[in-house]
Amino acid sequence: MRKEAFAAYLFLAPCILGLLIFEAGPVIASVILSLMDWDLLSPPKWVGLGNFREMFSKDKLVPLSLFNTAYYTFFGVPLQLAAALGAALLLNAKVRGIRLYRTAFYVPSVTPAVANAILWVLIFNPESGIANYMLSALRLPTFRWLVDPPMAKPAFILMSLWGIGSTMVIFLAGLQGIPEYLYEAASIDGAGALKSFRHITIPMLTPTIFFNLTIGIIGSFQVFTSAYIMTAGGPANATLFYVLYLYRNAFQYLRMGYASALAWCLFLIIALLTAIQFGAGQRWVYYEAELRP
Amino acid sequence: MSEIARHMVAAKPGTRLHSSTVIIVRRVASQLLLYLALTALAAMLLVPLVYMVSTSLKVRGTELALPVRWIPRPVAWENYPETFTMRPFHLYLRNTLSVVVGAMSGTLLTSSMAAYAFARLRFPGRNALFSIVIMTMMLPGVVTMIPTFVIFRNLGWVNTLLPLFVPAWFGGGAFNVFLFRQFFMTLPYELEEAARIDGAGFFRIYSRITVPLSGPIFATVAIFSFIGNWNNFMGPLIYLTSREKFTLALGIQTFRSEFEVRWANIMVAATLMTIPCLLVFFFFQRFFFQGVVMSGMSGR
């Protein structure tokens, strides 16, 4: 028994060291740093809650970047979920060649974010990108996507719909986990396709929807690479997302303390949103194994 | 279609269409609609990639010409060697591969070892430690980013590749530990018990029994690690400062900022960076989908 425990700690040694060096240590250091001013060069200066005060009173870019990020998340994630569910429903059909389609739908999700971002700059080119080219071919209005401030965030959301592969595959697995007999019973009772969808598919899928929603919001709040490359936060700060602003404070303005305060604020927001979802989830997520009194 | 035809023949001339025929016509029609929807969606999703490759093969100066020429004429193959001379791609590739291989081997070894302990060994504090590992998944990377940067700066590792793969040797990421553990728990105990009775130590059991039985999960984690490190942008952006240390992600990004007008060359770079990801995906699709589904089922 003692030998077994000793072996276990040996197996876990790298992991435990990693937890201490790269998680616990930095978490503590980050709390302390958030109460300091430090530019990496001169010695750090204690400022107490000064950084947090600055965030919410003086610095206009914090509320703005929070707004941008919330906009991107709360419009983008529901659309991503709807699109992913739609694609998964199509892919759940039992027809020949369906695997080929699944591959095709997933391909955009494995392509590098940097290459994607660069590619979409060209796609959104107002004069000759294919976004406007196709819209005008369909006789629809065209937009000055990444140039016109009100259109910049919708452009990012549109682009995010391209990479919904993982969400889609998780939905597909969820759909395939719904037992066939439920649909058979419903159809014997005379339920049509829409009724079955509304009363079987959706309720049975709520745990999957909940998972994708939670992960989607957490990921969406940390959007960085696309904004850094495509617009550098522009036009007129319309795509200055929170993590991009944090990165600038840390590595361009060398405000390590302030950036740490920003990071903790992000953590609290994400934790709060996740907690709210778990609270609300009690009401709408259906778990089969769960027996309520 | 032949099904309908058969029914048409079977139905007596002059009589109303048999109700089963109606059902079959409906089924075929709905299948056609389904294929139409699937194909339209697949086309929409693949158009950007086609556009990328097609632009990479256009003669410089004609990239933005309208109407869009999907198949460039002439095909400017010379864009590819030309792009290689504009940037030290061989260095970017070598650096990227160093990071990918370094991080992947560290992740596979240390996260599977940790997972083995969590799945198979009894020791005080097992559940608490596992909860802590899982909890680190909820911590956004930016919280630990700055102190971690300070650590590597003090070690003098800024502008080296070390910060990009050394952390992978320390547990390989909570999510991978979780994936390995889930898989190990599905393996039958009997073989290990037999080996224990024969006097094999735990490390021997891990390396001779558990690992050889776990090919699929090693493949899944290896693939995600490959894609993650190949595509990583923020890490290299923070740590690498001089050109000869750049990974592909950083090297390609400089194209965008400096050669805005040379879209053909920019798209060559984007295409070259994308191809390995597509190859890995096509050859190891099964593991990809398994991994995604496992993460979905985890209720992470």
Please report the pLDDT score of residue B300 as a whole number: 31
When CB atoms are compared, the residue of A114, A222, A264 closest to B233 is A114
Nearest CA in chain A to B282: A103
Angle between helices A256-284 and B141-154 (to 10 degrees): 150
Burial letters B100-113, b for 16+ CB under 10 A, else e = bebbbbbbbebbbb
Please report the pLDDT score of residue A77 as a whole number: 96
Six token digits for residue B193: 């018990």
Determine the Cα–Cα distance for residues B55 and B274; give it in Å rounded to an integer: 14
What sign for the dihedral angle of Cα B9, B15, B20, B24? positive
Taking the CB of residue A191, how many other CB atoms lie within 10 A of it?
16
Contact at 8 Å (CB) between B299 and A207? Answer: yes
Q: Shortest CA distance to B251 belongs to which of B280, B281, B272?
A: B272
Six token digits for residue A80: 């991503």
B12 pLDDT higher than 60: no
Indicate yes or no: CB of A33 within 8 angstroms of CB of B147.
Answer: yes
SS (H, E, C) A178-242: CCHHHHHHHHHCCCCHHHHHHHHHHHHHHHHHHHHHHHHHHHHCCCCHHHHHHCCCCCCCCCCCH
Please report the pLDDT score of residue B8 as a whole number: 46
Six token digits for residue A127: 């004069």
Q: Shortest CA distance to A225 belongs to which of B92, B236, B44, B224?
A: B236
> Residue B241 burial by CB count (10 A; 0-12/13-18/19+): exposed, middle or buried?
exposed
When CB atoms are compared, the residue of A110, A247, A263 closest to B227 is A110
Q: Shortest CA distance to B253 belongs to which of B82, B99, B144, B92?
A: B92
Averaged pLDDT for residues B176-186:
89
Q: Is B171 helix (H, G, I), strand (E, B) or coil?
A: coil
Averaged pLDDT for residues B139-147:
91
Per residue in B51-74, pLDDT (tens digit) is: 999 888 887 877 777 777 788 788
Please report the pLDDT score of residue A72 as a whole number: 95
The type of residue at A129 is: G
B240 pLDDT higher than 80: yes
Share of chain B above pLDDT 70, in %: 90
A-B contacts (CB, under 8 Å): 268
Share of chain B above pLDDT 90, in %: 37
- In which band, very low, low, confident or very high, does the pLDDT at B16 lie, cut at 50, 70 and 90? low
Angle between helices A202-220 and A61-91 (to 10 degrees): 140
Q: Which residues of chain A have pLDDT under 50?
A: 290-293
Indicate yes or no: CB of B142 within 8 angstroms of CB of A133.
Answer: no
Tell which B residues from 64 to 123 touch A, by Cβ distance under 8 Å: 64-68, 110-111, 113-114, 116-118, 121-123
Helix (H) or strand (E) holding B266: helix B263-283
Please report the pLDDT score of residue B17 as a whole number: 56
Tell which B residues from 11 to 70 touch A, by Cβ distance under 8 Å: 31, 34-35, 37-39, 41-42, 45-49, 51-52, 55, 64-68
Mutate to test the interface with A, among B23, B32, B35, B38 (most CBs of A within 10 A): B38
Which of B278 and B26 is assigned the larger pLDDT? B278
Q: Which residues of A touch B129 (CB under 8 A)?
A: 12, 16
Per residue in A115-157, pLDDT (tens digit) is: 899 889 989 988 888 888 888 888 888 888 888 899 999 999 9
Please report the pLDDT score of residue B296 as a whole number: 60
B89 pLDDT higher than 70: yes
Mutate to test the interface with A, among B170, B202, B254 (most CBs of A within 10 A): B170
Indicate yes or no: CB of A7 within 8 angstroms of CB of B202.
Answer: yes
Please report the pLDDT score of residue A293 as a whole number: 39
> Residue B137 burial by CB count (10 A; 0-12/13-18/19+): exposed, middle or buried?
middle
Please report the pLDDT score of residue B14 as a whole number: 47
B112 pLDDT higher than 80: yes
Is A222 an 8 Å CB contact of chain B? yes
Instruction: Give, as one character, the DSSP assignment of residue B138.
Output: G
B260 pLDDT higher than 50: yes
Is A119 an 8 Å CB contact of chain B? yes
- pTM of the model as a whole: 0.88
Nearest CA in chain A to B113: A11
Is A111 an 8 Å CB contact of chain B? yes
Please report the pLDDT score of residue B5 as a whole number: 47
Indicate yes or no: CB of A128 within 8 angstroms of CB of B64.
Answer: yes
Please list the residues that pair with A46 across neighbouring strands. Answer: A36
Q: Shortest CA distance to A52 belongs to which of A31, A81, A27, A78?
A: A31
